[in-house]
Structures are given as C-alpha cells and as structure tokens.
C-alpha cells in the first residue's frame, strides 16, 4: 500500500469512527467523542472483529437498530478493570494520613466517580467500618453505565479473584480476616450486606453531568487516562467544584494533576499514591 493510499484509508476510518460516535450520541445520549482516540479505536476494533463485521459503517447500522448490540459495545467502551484494594499502598496511606484528619469531621461524604463494578467502593466501605467511621459517613458510587451499576449493587464477584483481593487487603493494612466480609456460593462470593449500608449507587456521567454535592473525599482512579486533555481538565474542574475546602482527591497510578489546568488548585499529599488536597481559600 502506497503512502497516499494508506493515509486516505486511515482518514476514511477516522471519519467512519467519528460518525459512529456521533450516532451513539444522537441515539443513546452517550458522548465518547472526547475519549482518547487510541482507546476508543482499540475497543471499537475489538467489537468489530468479534462481530464479524468488515467496517464501521456496518457497525453504525447495527448500533442504530440493535440496542442489545449497543449494550455490548457500551461495556467495551466502559472502563471496568479494577480490584478490591487495588494498589494497596493507596489504602494504607489513606488509613495513616487521611483518616485521622477525616475523623475530626462529624460526618463525611465520599464519592467514587466511575465506580465500575464496585470493588473499590466496597474497599472504602470496609476501611471506614474498620476505622469506626461507617456510621457517620455516606458513600456515593456513580457510573454512566447502568448495566455495570447493577452489577456493582449486587456485590457478587468470582471466587477465583479472592486470593488477589485478600492479598491486596492484607497489604493495605486490613485489620480483620478478609473472609469475614463475604460468603462463598459455588463459583462466586457474595459480599456481606452490611458493606452496602451507607452506599448509594446512582447514574452520573462525568462527560456531561455537573457538580456532585460537597465531598470530603473523591476517588476517580484510572479513568482520566482514557480521556483527552480537554475532557481531563473539565472533569478535574468538576471534582474541584465538588470538594469541600481541604477535601481530598485520589487519582490512579498513571494519572497526575501535573500540566493540567487544576494543578495550582490542589496540593499533593502523597505524590506516589496520587492523593491531593483541595487548597483552602486564603
């Protein structure tokens, strides 16, 4: 393939993807146009291959007329890779550095933005319970994908992952036997019902929706890496406006406030663990 032909092919593909994303936005209201193009293209190409379609024009037709197919694609485009107590040192730092400060409040509010299937939501629920703070806390867990939210509400996970989750919990400074928090049921485990208390799951789209309360702590870990710079800045401004003065923001291991519009609005609490505090007004 000559250089000119290759460039033309790539440009045609880019236009097809652009029109496909516009069709999704118009038909279903989900806006993926400001997601990182490499991530979007990779996930769309995956669905294209396993669906035995030859181009994105065919996929667009299928999306418009087959809602079940769209729901499958929506799961592809969602960010659903996580674990309980993922990056254990983050939770250890929260126990040691943030909890003593948060205990000075009579009531705290925690927001898990882009909560996926709920693993990290239940992780912080366990941590707050062990620190004696659960009764004066409210956890808000949000995601734009209703299907993944339903899964999160159930708190059911494969038995095979519990060895990893247990190791994470122990490294994070967990105070009990991790098996106390779930019961085994054949090939799955069901988390203890009490972990769902003080947790409110609801739909919220970081791309299009506005400020979410006045929070003391916001988790949004390994979500921003899938957004382009413009959308990252918009979402970080949303988090800033949603935090009370002195509130904390926890990002993912590959994310940072450096070189963003909001860098000067936060102070680093733990650089390695990507924990930041909203600066108080002078």
| pLDDT tens, position by position, 203-217 | 999 888 888 889 999
Give yes or no: residues 60 and 120 share one domain.
Answer: no
**What pLDDT is stored for residue 3 in this prediction?**
64
Residues 17 and 49 in one domain: yes
Global pTM reads 0.85
- Which pLDDT value is given to residue 79? 67
Residues 150, 237 share a domain? yes
CATH for 179: 3.40.50.150
82 lies in some domain? no
Pair (121, 259) in one structural domain: yes
Domain that holds residue 40: 3-77
Q: Which pLDDT score, from 0 to 100, does residue 38 have?
A: 84
Residues 148, 12 share a domain: no
- Kindly state whether residue 158 falls inside one of the protein's structural domains: yes
Are 140 and 266 in a shared domain?
Answer: yes
User: Do 266 and 165 share a structural domain?
Assistant: yes
The domain tally of the chain equals 2
Q: Is 114 within a domain?
A: yes
- Mark whether 236 and 164 lie in a shared domain: yes
pLDDT of 1: 55
Residues of the chain with pLDDT under 50: none
Predicted pLDDT at 113: 95
Are 50 and 132 in the same domain? no
- How much is the pLDDT for 31? 83
Strand order across the beta sheet in which 182-185 lies: 156-158, 188-191, 182-185
Same domain, 137 and 186: yes
């Amino acid at each position: 393939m000559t250089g000119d032909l290759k460039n033309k092919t790539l440009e045609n593909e880019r236009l097809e993807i652009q029109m496909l994303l516009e069709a999704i936005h118009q038909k279903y209201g989900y806006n993926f146009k400001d997601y990182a193009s490499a991530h979007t293209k990779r996930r769309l190409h995956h669905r294209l291959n396993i669906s035995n379609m030859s181009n994105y024009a065919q996929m667009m037709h299928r999306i418009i007329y087959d809602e079940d197919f769209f729901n499958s694609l929506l799961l592809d485009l969602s960010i659903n890779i996580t674990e309980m107590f993922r990056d254990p040192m983050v939770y250890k730092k929260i126990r040691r550095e943030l909890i003593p400060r948060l205990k000075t409040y009579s009531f705290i509010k925690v927001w898990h933005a882009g909560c996926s299937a709920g693993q990290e939501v239940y992780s912080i629920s366990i941590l707050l319970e062990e620190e004696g703070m659960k009764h004066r806390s409210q956890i808000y867990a949000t995601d734009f994908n209703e299907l993944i939210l339903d899964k999160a509400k159930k708190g059911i996970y494969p038995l095979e992952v519990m060895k990893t989750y247990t190791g994470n919990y122990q490294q994070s400074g967990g105070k009990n036997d991790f098996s106390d928090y779930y019961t085994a049921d054949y090939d799955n485990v069901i988390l203890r019902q009490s972990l769902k208390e003080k947790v409110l799951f609801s739909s919220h789209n970081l791309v299009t929706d506005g400020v979410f309360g006045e929070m003391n702590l916001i988790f949004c870990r390994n979500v921003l890496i899938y957004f382009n710079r413009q959308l990252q800045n918009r979402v970080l401004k949303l988090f800033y406006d949603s935090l009370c003065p002195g509130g904390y923001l926890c990002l993912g291991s590959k994310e940072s406030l450096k070189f963003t519009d909001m860098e000067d609005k936060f102070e680093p609490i733990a650089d390695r663990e990507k924990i930041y505090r909203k600066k108080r007004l002078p």
